[in-house]
Copies of this chain bind each other. A is one copy, B any other.
Amino acid sequence: MSGKGFNVPPSAEFVARVSGIATMCKLPFQETADGLDAAFIGVPIDTGTSNRPGARFGPRHIRAESSMLRPFNGWTRAAPYESLRVADIGDINVNLYDLKDTCKRIREGYRKIVATGCIPLTLGGDHTIAYPILQAVAERHGPVGLIHVDAHADTSDMILGEKIGHGTPFRRCVDEGLLDCKRVVQIGLRGPSYSPDNYEWSRAQGFRVVEVVECWHKSLVPLMEEVRSQMGTGPVYLSFDIDSLDPAYAPGTGTPEIAGLTPIQGLEIIRGCRGLNLVGCDLVEVSPPYDTTGNTALTGANLLFEMLCVLPKVKYY
């Protein structure tokens, strides 16, 4: 399955798409991140969600739909499997009955992954998971820049009396100094709100907030030029909530908000990250029970593949 030590997924030219165990991109499964440049890993929870659940099945369904992917990125001419050693390393074994313990398990699991120098590409799971992942990532890299693509700021202090949930991860990250706040951008925010000035706290931290209204009717290529400049050369984490996309494109998610980004803009954002010092990425909140055609999971799979294609050192033709 490899040339020069790389893992290359079987091409549908030679192995039928429907055939084979459903690992991410049909890559080999291995139990740890040892020897890998990048790893796909799942965190199957939805116990942090405030509305529709189901994201616990996100990793399984993203893997299943990823059988549509092919080894090259024909759009951008990236050849990720010719320069990085990549595998699927399975899922964090979560505690479905205690969200705080789950967070601990995630943090510990990611500590081991990032310790090897491997870049984690996470298949969520609800957005709660960004908090313990960023704990592990910042422990290794120091406070990181953050490109946060989402319908929601996820910066509430407490929800239903709790500090941990899918509405609070980035508040916790700031509380613990995990983010380099001047290098944080939130793109796609929108929707009814708990207060009239919904993004006040984000702005007060120094985050750049790009409300979705600023994105309507246009290409995000210019925005990403600014974002690259904001991010500089420091370590950057990319957290992509599928609900940043309009529900027409991503119905299978838990807290959909109308009038969102398009997948075209999603691709522009991710491709706009090329050249950054990405140290981790996630794609969260795919909820298969609400994904009646499988196309939200398919979109998630594509976006994760695009993230792989913009990691440092990926070869381009």
Contact = CB atoms under 8 A, between A and B. Distances in A.
A11 to B, nearest CB: 6
A23 B60 CA distance: 11
B70 A193 contact: yes
B256 A54 contact: no
Contact of A21 (B48, B75, B88): B88
A113 to B, nearest CB: 16
Total identical chains: 6
Interface string A172-201: 000000000000000000111111111100
Contacts of A32: none
A72 B259 contact: no
A51 B75 contact: no
A315 to B, nearest CB: 9
A226 interface: no
A6 interface: no
Nearest to A11: B194
Given A191-B74, A293-B251, A16 B298 contact: no
A122 to B, nearest CB: 14
Interface residues of A, number: 106
A98 B95 contact: no
Contacts of A57: 18, 52
A244 interface: no
Given A77-B197, A246-B263, 14 more contacts: A12-B194, A18-B44, A19-B92, A22-B63, A68-B255, A74-B193, A74-B195, A75-B191, A79-B196, A95-B162, A192-B302, A246-B248, A247-B298, A248-B249
Nearest 5 A-B pairs (CB), nearest first? A74-B193, A74-B198, A196-B317, A53-B53, A289-B289
